[in-house]
Amino acid sequence: MPSQDKFFIAIGTLSVFYTFWVLWNMAASVDHMVSVRQMQSKGPGFQKGIPLQGHWAMMYADIILPLLIAYLVAKYGQQWSLQQIGLMIGAGFALSFIMHLTYIEAGKHFPEAPTYGGRLTTAGWLHFVYMGLAFAAIGLLYLCTSKPTPFDIWLTTIWLVIHVVVGVHVPLKLLKPDWFPYHGIMDAGTLAPIFASAAILLGMTWWTLR
């Protein structure tokens, strides 16, 4: 594939993912859930919680992830058939659905930008679609790509583990700001996603590079 075509594929991929990022920032702003000050202005039930700026994965890591995905799609996308893409999109949305169910459960205890009151917010639904597409691209790399470079696979694996660590709020659990409702990292809700995702990703790395 010509380099110019790869460039436009990368730009198109970035545009899709960054559109979702911008939209959920706008939705969280309308919902008064971007900053701590906005969240706490919503009333007594919102003095502790996780506004968008406290969701470091949604706010910051999800800016970096599209750069990786755009690079991978531009480099390997020509290998993937429509059938493989459709299958991985279905699997990606199934995984995203399961992940966001856990968000909903957490949001029943303390409000979060993507969920509170037992439901996803508009920002949460936008993130659901974003992650469905992200999971699809990741699955296509590991399962449907012929001879990817070890560098690309290990880069993806390492970044995704870091993304999970940030996603389960390890930095804020260690910093312990007074508005943040969860402290400590030696609990199942923190360790299980990290170790489970690391094990799965290492297994997929081995499978892809075998």
pLDDT digits (tens, 9 = 90+) for 66-106: 999 999 999 999 999 999 999 999 999 999 999 999 999 98
Q: What is the pLDDT of residue 67?
A: 97
Residue pLDDT, tens place only, 24-43: 999 999 999 999 999 999 99
Question: In residues, how long is the chain?
Answer: 210
Q: What is the pLDDT of residue 68?
A: 97
Q: What is the mean pLDDT of the chain?
A: 95
Q: Which of 126, 136, 57, 122 is nearest to 93 (CA)?
A: 136
Who wins on pLDDT, 2 or 11?
11
Q: Beta strands 119-120 and 115-116: pairing type?
A: antiparallel
Residue 23 CB neighbour total at 10 angstroms: 17
Residue pLDDT, tens place only, 128-180: 999 999 999 999 999 999 999 999 999 999 999 999 999 999 999 999 999 99
Q: Which domain holds residue 20?
A: 3-209
Q: What is the pLDDT of residue 142?
A: 97
Q: Which of 148, 125, 150 is nearest to 137 (CA)?
A: 148
Q: What is the pLDDT of residue 138?
A: 97
Q: How far is it, in rounded angstroms, from Cα 190 to Cα 168?
A: 6
The residues, ordered by sequence, that sit 6+ positions from 135 with a Cβ below 8 Å of its Cβ are 88, 91, 92, 93, 95, 96
When divided into structural domains, the chain yields a total of: 1
